[in-house]
Amino acid sequence: MCLIPDIVKTPLNYTGNKSRLLDQILPLFPKKINRFVDLCCGGASVGLNVLNRSKEVVCLDVNKNVIELLQTLQMFSEESIVAKVEQIIKDFNLSDTFNNGYDVYKKYVEGNNGFKNYNKIGYEKLRNYFNSTVMDLNTRAIYLLVLLSYCFNNDIRFNSSGKFNMPIGKTDFNASIRDKLHSFKIGTKNKNIKFYFSDFSVIKEFELSKNDFVYCDPPYLITNAVYNLANSKNNNPWTEEQEKALLKTLEYLHKNNVKFALSNVLSKENMENKILIDWIKLHDFKIVDIDYHYRSSSYHKKNRQAKEREVLILNYDI
Ligand SMILES: C[S@@+](CC[C@H](N)C(=O)[O-])C[C@H]1O[C@@H](n2cnc3c(N)ncnc32)[C@H](O)[C@@H]1O
């Protein structure tokens, strides 16, 4: 649980998101920031929570689907997003516990499968429709929001042909997801925040200076989230070359007097990120240990036993 009051929530349940670590990370950031860049923003849980101390927030990610979803959620009113989502729920005969209550669906619930049995057919029809229909960018994003609300672990994953391929999960567009959407809409209202589809290397073109600040939470080389892996399901695997290129980019920022903070994992069980450890030895950066146990939800119980050294690497004095 994050102890910071009034946290702005993201509607995306992103693997490796920093929501549970915000109370450890945010106090280490500068108090006043001109331009804040969340370089590998994912669900933007960090960028969304520096709006109160930054003149401008820019969130970048190489995942086009994620960025288009965030842009769409920013552009439309909460009422119109919810109305569109509810229409899709009706069209595909999916459960709607928020409006209809739990009892209507109770007889379909088996063990801890939630609404899986009730939604299976509708969800698969919806996923096929989404994967085979040409839609404008914003309509597509709303369909994706519905898929994410009903899919396994609310995770986002596309195969190499760009098809959404998550299986059915046990949740629906429930009070918790609506609450996150509401928080996102309230938190970004009249705020200077932009979401861009781009590789991290574009940062060199931003002409940042000493009052700007870059936060970077890249895929971790020694963990295996869906966005890390070089396999048939991922067009942008995180490789040693990407890691080295990112570290060079951070060196460039440092030389230009731009402050940065890099989240990463130095070691996990019997693995070490040697590239990063060697890089740290060459520089006089500050290493702050992060208590990653906060991050573990009940779903990730086994993380609690795993030995892992999660850190925040800073190129400035706190
Ligand atoms: C650990 S996740 C970020 C999670 C995020 N901090 C949050 O709280 O939701 C890493 C992100 O890096 C993105 N990424 C991978 N390669 C990238 C690249 N070359 N440039 C920018 N972003 C990249 C992935 O798409 C993924 O969203």
- Please give the chain's pLDDT, 318 residues, in tens: 555 668 999 999 887 899 999 999 999 999 999 999 999 999 999 999 999 999 999 999 999 999 999 999 999 999 999 999 999 999 999 999 999 999 999 999 999 899 999 999 999 999 999 999 999 999 999 999 999 999 999 999 988 888 999 999 999 999 999 999 999 999 999 999 999 999 999 999 999 999 999 999 999 998 876 666 554 455 567 899 999 999 999 999 999 999 999 999 999 988 999 999 999 999 989 999 998 765 544 444 444 555 889 999 999 998
Please, where in the chain does CATH 3.40.50.150 lie? 19-62+198-314
Q: DSSP assignment, residue 102?
A: S
What number does CATH give the domain 19-62+198-314? 3.40.50.150
Choosing from 9, 26, 39, 62 the residue with most ligand 1 atoms within 8 A of its CB, the one to mutate for a pocket test is 62
CA atoms within 13 A on the CB side of 81: 26
Query: For ligand 1, is residue 13 a contact (CB within 6 Å)?
Result: no
Please, where in the chain does CATH 1.10.1020 lie? 69-179
Query: For ligand 1, is residue 11 a contact (CB within 6 Å)?
Result: no
Query: For ligand 1, is residue 40 a contact (CB within 6 Å)?
Result: yes
Q: Taking Cα atoms as reference points, which of 45, 60, 24, 101 lies closest to residue 204?
A: 60
Gap between the Cα atoms of 158 and 272, Å rounded: 29
User: In this structure, what is the dihedral angle of CA atoms 51, 52, 54, 58, given to the nearest 10 degrees?
Assistant: 0
Phi/psi-derived region of residue 145, left when phi > 0, alpha when psi is between -120 and 50, beta in every other case: alpha
Query: For ligand 1, is residue 295 a contact (CB within 6 Å)?
Result: no
Gap between the Cα atoms of 51 and 57, Å rounded: 7
Query: For ligand 1, is residue 310 a contact (CB within 6 Å)?
Result: no
Protein fold of 69-179 = Adenine-specific Methyltransferase; domain 2 (1.10.1020)
Tally of CB atoms within 10 A around 159? 14
DSSP assignment of 25-66, as one string? HGGGS-SSEEEEEETT-TT-TTGGGSGGGEEEEEEEES-HHH
Query: For ligand 1, is residue 63 a contact (CB within 6 Å)?
Result: yes
Residue having the nearest C-alpha atom to atom 26 of ligand 1: 42
Residue having the nearest C-alpha atom to atom 25 of ligand 1: 63
**Bridge partner residues of 60 (DSSP):** 196
Tell me, in angstroms, the distance from the centre of ligand 1 to residue 129's CA. Answer: 27
